[in-house]
Structure 1
Amino acid sequence: MSTKTLKNDIPASIVVFFVALPLCLGIALASGAPLFSGLIAGIIGGIVVGAISGSQIGVSGPAAGLAAIVLTAIGTLGGFENFLLAVVIAGFIQLIFGFLKAGILGYYFPSSVIKGMLTGIGIIIILKQIPHFFGYDADPSGDFAFIQVDGENTFSEILKMVNNISLGATIIAFVSLAILILWEKVLVHKSKIFKIVQGALVAVVLGIIYYTATTGNATFGIKNAHLVSVPVPTDFNSFLGQFSFPNFGAITNPAIWVTAFTIALVASLETLLCVEASDKIDPQKRVTPTNRELMAQGTGNIISGLIGGLPITQVIVRSSANAQSGGKTKKSAIIHGFLLLFSVVLIPGLLNMIPLSVLAAILLLVGYKLAKPAMFKTIYQQGWKQFVPFIVTVLGIIFTDLLVGITLGLLVGVVVILIKSYQNSHFLHIEDKNNGMKKLRMTLAEEVTFINKGAILKELNSIPEDSYLELDITKTRFLDYDIVEILEDFAGIAKSKNISILIISERGNVENPPSYKEFFKLRKAS
């Protein structure tokens, strides 16, 4: 494995580590699972999935999109051990998806929807991190749904934050944000040392120093509730006691299999969407092999479930942080997994001194890069057919959740395609008068389907009496039987209205054919 990119991958992995740490814990909390299960998923997602995956900047771990499914499943399946069995089975199902080459499904999502997904996630990150930035941590960091686990919604949480600002957390958050911006905009261009040592690491170190220096100060101190909370084992046995194992005795329970298939389907879809999105923000525009990605995710979920971890998907928040921090290859994802492993084993106490507001500052910058105002302007200038699916996806993600928002954007995208198909089925042009008859020329598109029936029928019915219609099908490669029937019916009407019809094709011209069905049947056979 080449070491040439380590100068980029190591600094990026540090940023991804600080982004992933609170998300792993927050998603576990939002899922109603042990906090350690989120860390296991983050470690496996980084090391195992990162090693197998063909994605160069994608980072995997526990996903917010599965939190609601996990929360419900743990209760309905009768315990966390039964749920872990469903995670293991889901991993095997994903392996089957990969062998069946189901990864191609990711390519059928419009670009406007993928860009809307990135922008929507960026806005959600910003909105969700604002309370944490000001030291109001009532909602877990990994809860990205509009209606939160604490009963509040995204905006009511921000309003409640106004009356619950922690001065100490806010001060170090602003200092951290200033450091991050200064590092990226100025210092990184001054010396190579600033490219190796990331601003995020400096901000975290200063956060720990600030917490230590102000401990006990009622005004400027940071309470323990506003710090990272990693489980701290007292000895080796208590560390091993944090692992949970699946209950294979419940394998005959049909509910386990239903949950497993649900997890496999949702996790695979979310992964494919994130793959498509992360490939778009890859500066080198590399293409991830999607079937290999499904098998990597399946392997990760099998191992995660076997040792007590949450389900894993590729996650756009971590992937975008990786790309924006200069990560070049998948080594950054793998190293971030090892950083998570070493930190929870060796220095959990030190991690618990990191203010959440510092990590919120890091995430705010990630969110802004995903949802730059310039993106809205660019998509708007591309026309309504791009902007409408884009904005619907953005709003859907903000006011519901990731998968619902993408589904809404996709549905709107399909409607736009139908409208475009309706409009582009044909072209009608009035040329001149021919021996006292009005001459019209209708050119059909390359593919004309039943969707175009209404538009073509409207045009045919509008043709006046005593006209001469040239029907040009030279470029038409597919003509739906429904359209042939319309032409057949119009032929009878045309005779009564003294309308002559000339069919122009690449095989010659035919005037007033006795049967359109036979003409197109013979044409197809020839």
Structure 2
Amino acid sequence: MFKTLKHDLPASIVVFFVALPLCLGIALASGAPLFSGLIAGIVGGIVVGALSGSKIGVSGPAAGLAAIVLTAIGTLGGYENFLVAVVLGGAIQLLFGLLRAGIIGYYFPSSVIKGMLTGIGIIIILKQIPHFFGLDRDPEGDWAFFQLDGENTFSEILNIGEYLQIGSFVIGLTGLAILLIWDNILSKKAKIFTVIQGPLVAVALGIIFYLVTQDNETISIGKTHLVSVPVPDSLDSFISQFRFPNFSAITNPQVWVTAFTIALVASLETLLCVEATDKLDPNKNVTPTNRELLAQGTGNIISGMIGGLPITQVIVRSSANIQSGGRTKLSAIIHGFFLLISVILIPNLLNKIPLSVLAAILLVVGYKLAKPALFKKMWDLGWKQYVPFFITIIGIVFTDLLVGIGLGLLVGIVVVLIKSYQNSHFLHKEGEDIDDGKIKMTFAEEVTFINKGAILNELNSLKENTYLELDVRNTKFLDYDIIEILEDFAFKAKQKNINIKIISERGIVENPDSIIEFFKLEPREGKPKKIA
């Protein structure tokens, strides 16, 4: 693992700068102590990173849980009571892992996963534009469409002109230029530019800019536009920031409801993120999902025990890790140690980082997730791919992650049902263009009630004096609903002088007295048996 340190160390620095404001912002948006977000980021990096089987996934507090946390803290009567639910939620996740529930993530279509990545990329861009211009009224973690101050994602952007902060914009624009030049030009010129990452240079320049321009009223950056890490006065004040669960609340049914909600939502977000990061991974590693649930459960138990927010694997940090060249789990672990060390040793220095510089870093991350070329690629793949893709994006941008994914999945299922209706009721039909009255219809391997309408339309369209040859030799499953349709058609066929010939595993029969009785003798599931 340490052979890849030259890749993982620079990547961990980028992930650290991405994670730091998000940990604080999500805690603020959740109505929790700021330090709780940092605890979750540290545990997500060090503990979950060490236990996880994912090489490039990074865990920490997730914006998708902010609304749940905000509501639960008030409902349960305090943060300490809420921590009990976090611990119990982690234990339930361990149970999910032992029950091998990790397979759930594989049942989401690729178009929905790509839509999720693109939607998150668009949200990152939209949410960081105000911070880039110095409009920092909302925390970094407030990623809902309707924001805490009553504004929405788009109205917040329209307010930029009224609240533009010149200094933030200047250093944000400078940082963005550094990132683009570093990534597209300098990194290809010399090896040193791949070891020292552009985000580190941009952040360092941001700190210098803040210090140099403090006395300049025009371009100075106020403290409300900087990172805000809690600064302890002493070791005792640092330790006092940790909160511990009040286990006397464990008998409260609402605590258990919240715990199960956290476990379910966190597990689903994690599994979807795992699926997405595996698709982004240039080395195409496959993450063991059940092990991931065990790692996340352990992380949530530890985070809850010491006052941290609930943890999931997070696509923003994970994609930043991949884009920065991370190769192994070492980058996630190191980023956790960076969070821990910096909070203890250099909180004052961290509080001199302009938020607009960090916004520039996230803008680049967002663009790489939502490249215009991907939209064209999905469009070229046809409507079965681009419809779920676009619906997922729209749902994520205008609601939240899980709702958007649910809408995309629902549309994907509808697409499958439509195509099943159109195509799977028979393999092919022969003789329709030959004027001899003979038609051959071959049923598919599986024919279900979904195909009732299509088959009924085909049968009803047959003309009088037709000779229908129905081949069911390849059919492994024939729904009883279809057999009933055939039984009704056989009655009508006599009136229209239509002869029916059925070719099956047990032989050939013409105009059977009862199609239902005939198919009772036919094996409909599993490998067909030869019947003499």
TM-score grouping bracket, smaller chain normalisation? over 0.9
Cα distance in 1, alignment partners of residues 472 and 153 from structure 2: 55
Identity %: 74
* Residue 223 of structure 1: how far off its partner (Å): 0.7
Cα distance in 2, alignment partners of residues 18 and 423 from structure 1: 51
- Matched residue type, 1:431: G
Residue number in structure 1 paired with 2:469: 470
* Residue 505 of structure 1: how far off its partner (Å): 3.2
Residue number in structure 1 paired with 2:526: none
Cα distance in 2, alignment partners of residues 441 and 133 from structure 1: 66
Residue number in structure 2 paired with 1:189: 188
Q: State the SS of the aligned residue for 1:442.
A: strand
Residue number in structure 2 paired with 1:363: 362
- Matched residue type, 1:367: G
Which aligned pairs between 1:309-320 and structure 2 lie closer than 5 A? 309-320=308-319
Residue number in structure 1 paired with 2:74: 75
Residue number in structure 1 paired with 2:403: 404
- Matched residue type, 1:311: P
Q: Which runs of 5+ in 2 are unaligned?
A: 524-528
- Conservation of the 8 A alpha-carbon contact between 1:45 and 1:312: yes
- Matched residue type, 1:429: K
Residue number in structure 1 paired with 2:429: 429
* Residue 520 of structure 1: how far off its partner (Å): 2.0
Which aligned pairs between 1:380-399 and structure 2 lie closer than 5 A? 380-399=379-398
- Bigger Cα displacement from structure 2, 215-224 vs 53-62: 215-224
- Bigger Cα displacement from structure 2, 13-22 vs 160-169: 160-169
Cα distance in 2, alignment partners of residues 199 and 506 from structure 1: 68
Q: RMSD value over aligned CA atoms?
A: 1.2
- Bigger Cα displacement from structure 2, 468-477 vs 152-161: 468-477
- Matched residue type, 1:442: M
- Bigger Cα displacement from structure 2, 395-404 vs 498-507: 498-507
- Bigger Cα displacement from structure 2, 504-513 vs 28-37: 504-513
* Residue 445 of structure 1: how far off its partner (Å): 1.4
- Conservation of the 8 A alpha-carbon contact between 1:176 and 1:203: yes
Residue number in structure 2 paired with 1:124: 123
* Residue 430 of structure 1: how far off its partner (Å): 5.1
Q: Which runs of 4+ in 1 moved over 6 A?
A: none
1:243-276 deviation digits (Å, cap 9, x = unpaired): 0000001110101000000000000000000000
- Matched residue type, 1:236: L
- Conservation of the 8 A alpha-carbon contact between 1:433 and 1:439: no
- Conservation of the 8 A alpha-carbon contact between 1:437 and 1:466: no
- Conservation of the 8 A alpha-carbon contact between 1:425 and 1:447: yes
- Conservation of the 8 A alpha-carbon contact between 1:91 and 1:300: yes
Which aligned pairs between 1:81-480 and structure 2 lie closer than 5 A? 81-427=80-426, 429=429, 431=431, 437-480=436-479
* Residue 433 of structure 1: how far off its partner (Å): 8.5
Cα distance in 2, alignment partners of residues 448 and 426 from structure 1: 6
- Bigger Cα displacement from structure 2, 466-475 vs 231-240: 466-475
Q: State the SS of the aligned residue for 2:467.
A: strand
- Conservation of the 8 A alpha-carbon contact between 1:211 and 1:221: yes
Q: Tell me the matched-pair count.
A: 524
- Conservation of the 8 A alpha-carbon contact between 2:505 and 2:522: no
Residue number in structure 2 paired with 1:59: 58
Cα distance in 2, alignment partners of residues 104 and 228 from structure 1: 39
The answer to whether residue 514 in structure 2 is matched with residue 515 in structure 1 is yes
Cα distance in 1, alignment partners of residues 49 and 142 from structure 2: 24
Cα distance in 2, alignment partners of residues 405 and 48 from structure 1: 30
- Matched residue type, 2:22: L
User: Normalized against structure 2, the TM-score is what?
Assistant: 0.97
User: Normalized against structure 1, the TM-score is what?
Assistant: 0.98
- Conservation of the 8 A alpha-carbon contact between 2:469 and 2:502: yes
Cα distance in 1, alignment partners of residues 62 and 430 from structure 2: 58
1:117-162 deviation digits (Å, cap 9, x = unpaired): 0000000000000000001101111111101122111001101112
Cα distance in 2, alignment partners of residues 92 and 169 from structure 1: 44
Cα distance in 2, alignment partners of residues 509 and 34 from structure 1: 76
- Conservation of the 8 A alpha-carbon contact between 1:74 and 1:83: yes
- Matched residue type, 2:373: A
